[in-house]
């Protein structure tokens, strides 16, 4: 059983008896990340993407970090660009980026630890990511804006009712609308901008808070 702070290795790559292999340096780097309190998810993600590179190198007889140069890294970058998945589709630019980005940190660490004389990834130019939102996320952004506008007007009506008709429940309704906007609309904006599905789990809660606000408005009007 590994000690706390250590990483449980997956299947070995290449010669397991070669302590200077890319694979063994990968294990050292992962343990370094764990010791620096990187989250287990981050460490596992780095391992996955770096193993892709180590396996690619092993297939081409590149087994030690001293053998890796900038042209070799650029060859790997070209390999990712031309790679096709089982469905025939290429890797997206973002997928290529996330597979290449960990190489910079790894080789920077190798150079800092004097395992290699210089960092070959220092001048590696990563793919430029498209900063435009994917088309499939635009409707969610529109929904978030529509609900924010609609319930902002509802908040104004609640404030008006509180001010001129002294309806305490209207004030509570206004608060509910405000909280609902934060939870619901921001979850929509967050997913549209960041693409993290976990944010959409907040949307039903925001919708429920909106419903509470409307119930309070209806009761206050009686």
Torsion of CA 176, 178, 183, 186, to 10 degrees: 160
pLDDT the model gives residue 103 = 96
| Residue 140 pLDDT | 80
Question: Cα–chain-centroid distance for residue 104?
Answer: 18
Which residue from 149, 170, 152 is spatially nearest to 160, judged by alpha carbons? Answer: 170
DSSP 117: S
What is the rounded CA–CA span in Å between residue 148 and residue 191? 16
CB atoms closer than 10 angstroms to residue 27: 16
pLDDT by 10s per residue, the chain, length 222: 345 445 455 888 988 889 999 999 999 999 999 999 999 999 999 999 999 999 999 999 999 999 999 999 999 999 999 999 988 888 888 889 999 999 999 999 999 999 999 999 999 988 776 666 667 777 888 888 888 898 888 888 888 777 766 667 888 888 888 898 899 988 888 887 777 778 888 888 988 998 988 888 888 776
CB 43 within 8 Å of CB 32: no
From CA 207, how far away is CA 177, in angstroms rounded?
10
pLDDT at 201: 85
pLDDT at site 213: 85
Q: Quick one: pLDDT at residue 1? A: 37
- The two three-digit tokens of residue 86, written as one number: 């089982």
Cα 65 from chain centre: 28
Which of 47, 43, 38, 108 has its CA nearest to residue 73?
Answer: 108
* Predicted TM-score of the model (pTM): 0.59
Assign domain 1-131 one CATH number from 3.40.50.12780, 3.20.20.70, 1.10.150.130, 3.10.580.10.
Answer: 1.10.150.130
CA 157 to chain CA centroid, nearest Å: 39
CA distance 140 to 95: 23
- Res 2: pLDDT: 45
For the chain, domain boundaries: 1-131, 135-220
Q: What is the pLDDT of residue 82?
A: 94
CA 172 – CA 9 distance, rounded (Å)? 54
- The gap between the terminal CA atoms of the chain, to the nearest Å, is 67
The pLDDT, as a whole number, for residue 4 is: 47
Cα separation, 28 vs 41, in Å, equals 17
How many Å apart are CA 55 and CA 106, to the nearest integer? 15
DSSP-derived letter for residue 209 is H
Looking at residue 161, its pLDDT comes to 74
């Amino acid at each position: 059983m590994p000690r706390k702070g250590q990483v449980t290795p997956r299947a070995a790559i290449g010669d397991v008896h070669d302590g200077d292999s890319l694979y063994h340096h990968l294990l050292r780097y992962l343990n370094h990340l764990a010791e620096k309190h990187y989250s287990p998810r981050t460490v596992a993600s780095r391992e996955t993407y770096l193993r892709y590179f180590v396996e690619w190198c092993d297939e081409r007889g590149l087994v030690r970090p001293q053998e890796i140069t900038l042209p070799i890294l650029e060859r790997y970058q070209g390999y990712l660009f031309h790679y096709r998945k089982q469905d025939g589709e290429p890797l997206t630019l973002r997928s290529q980026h996330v597979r290449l980005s960990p190489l910079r940190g790894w080789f920077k660490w190798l150079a800092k630890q004097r395992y290699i004389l210089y960092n070959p990834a220092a001048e590696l130019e990563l793919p430029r990511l498209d900063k435009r939102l994917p088309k499939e996320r635009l409707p969610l952004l529109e929904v978030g804006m529509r609900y924010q506008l609609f319930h902002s007007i509802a908040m104004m009506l609640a404030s008006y009712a509180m001010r001129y008709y002294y309806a305490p429940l209207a004030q509570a309704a206004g608060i509910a609308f405000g909280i609902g906007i934060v939870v619901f609309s921001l979850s929509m904006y967050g997913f549209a901008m960041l693409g993290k599905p976990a944010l959409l789990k907040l949307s039903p809660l925001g919708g429920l808070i909106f419903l509470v606000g409307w119930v309070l408005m209806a009761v206050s009007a009686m």
